[in-house]
Amino acid sequence: MAENHLTASALVKQLGGELRGDDVILTRITSLQQAQEHDISFLSNPRLREDAVASRAGVLIVTEKSAAALVGRTLIIIDDPYLYFARVARLFHPLQQARSGIHPSAIISPSAQIADSCEIGANVVIGERCVIGEHTRVLAGTVIEEDCIIGNDCVIHANVTIYHGCQLGNRVELHSGCVIGADGFGFAWDKQKNEWFKIVQTGCVILGDDVDIGANTTIDRGAIENTIVEKDAKIDNQVMIGHNGKIGAHVAIVACTGIAGSTEVGDFSVIGGAAMIGGHLNIPPKTTIGAATAVSHSIKESGYYASIFPLQKHNDWVKNAAHIRHLHEMNQKIKALEHQLAELNGTSSNQQD
């Protein structure tokens, strides 16, 4: 058995919940389909109830409602099985701690202040006057330009680039390939020279505590003001956030979303994958934007917004698309018919009078 094995009773003692059935020694957490007698799994989606019944898992994390179909099994009863699963998974796979030390190949400015407990990997470059807090890991190939401030217990994965002057709070995690603080897309058109003139981007990027940024995501620095991502925001892979934007606390943004400059996203909002959000807009707190939705104007009221067609056969889509192209003409015709109908009704009423 794995060295980090746990018992079901120990999990309940540490994380809460109600244990029903035998106390089982557990060696890992895995899927319903793969689980065996010393494994723990979870049921959070009612559509997978049959998989849970068929599962060989020694322990199942379920709600009280789902427990009725699992009589005779060892269960942990909890209101939110998915969250409980996440916490159990962390017990089996604890965060890797910083191995204090600096790799010989790292290039670090003498003016940089790096806590002794930090781990600095191979070929890392750290610029002048940077400050890096306790127990932070900066992994291979990462470049941190001058005047950056990075908090405690951060994880900067391989090949991340943090431009000059950016600030990271505590427990921030940046995944490989992401770029923090590149220039915003700011240009003024010079009519005399008939060319673009680049606007200097003098702001920076500030990431709050517990922010998580996915692989190959880019967050641009502000043109004048700072681009801000507030605490506990979670941003997926390949997301683009433009200059001067503000992402509120506890916001979740799914992969391939693009948010243009100077747009504010309110706290606790959720942005679906591949959403397209224009610039200088405001999205209120607790708003959900569906996947692939285009947002071209500010939203005044919190709610769920979506603007995509559901999946359909191609031939059906072509027919519907043909009608959409003529919506304006159809609208004009309907208005004309309504006007004619109103006139007829008016004539009829006059005749009755």
User: Which residues are catalytically annotated?
Assistant: 243
**CA–CA separation, 27 vs 48, rounded Å?**
23
Strand locations in 226-343 (E)? 227-229, 234-235, 240-241, 246-247, 252-253, 258-259, 264-265, 270-271, 276-277, 282-283, 288-289, 294-295, 304-305
Tokens 């921030």, residue located: 172
Chain mean position to CA 80: 20
User: What are the backbone angles phi and psi of residue 321, rounded to the nearest 5°?
Assistant: -60, -35
Can you tell me whether residue 76 is helix, strand or coil?
A: strand
76: Cβ contacts below 8 Å, ≥ 6 apart: 8, 11, 12, 17, 18, 19, 20, 40, 59, 60, 61, 62, 84
User: At a CB cut-off of 8 Å and minimum separation 6, what does 295 contact?
Assistant: 275, 276, 277, 278, 281, 283, 289, 305
Strands 252-253 and 270-271: parallel
Determine the Cα–Cα distance for residues 313 and 152; give it in Å rounded to an integer: 52
DSSP state of 200: P
CB atoms within 10 A of CB 339: 10
Half-sphere exposure in the Cβ direction for 294 (13 Å, CA): 3
Expressed in angstroms, the distance from the first to the final Cα of the chain is: 94
**Which residue in the block uniquely carries the two structure tokens 């698309």?**
321
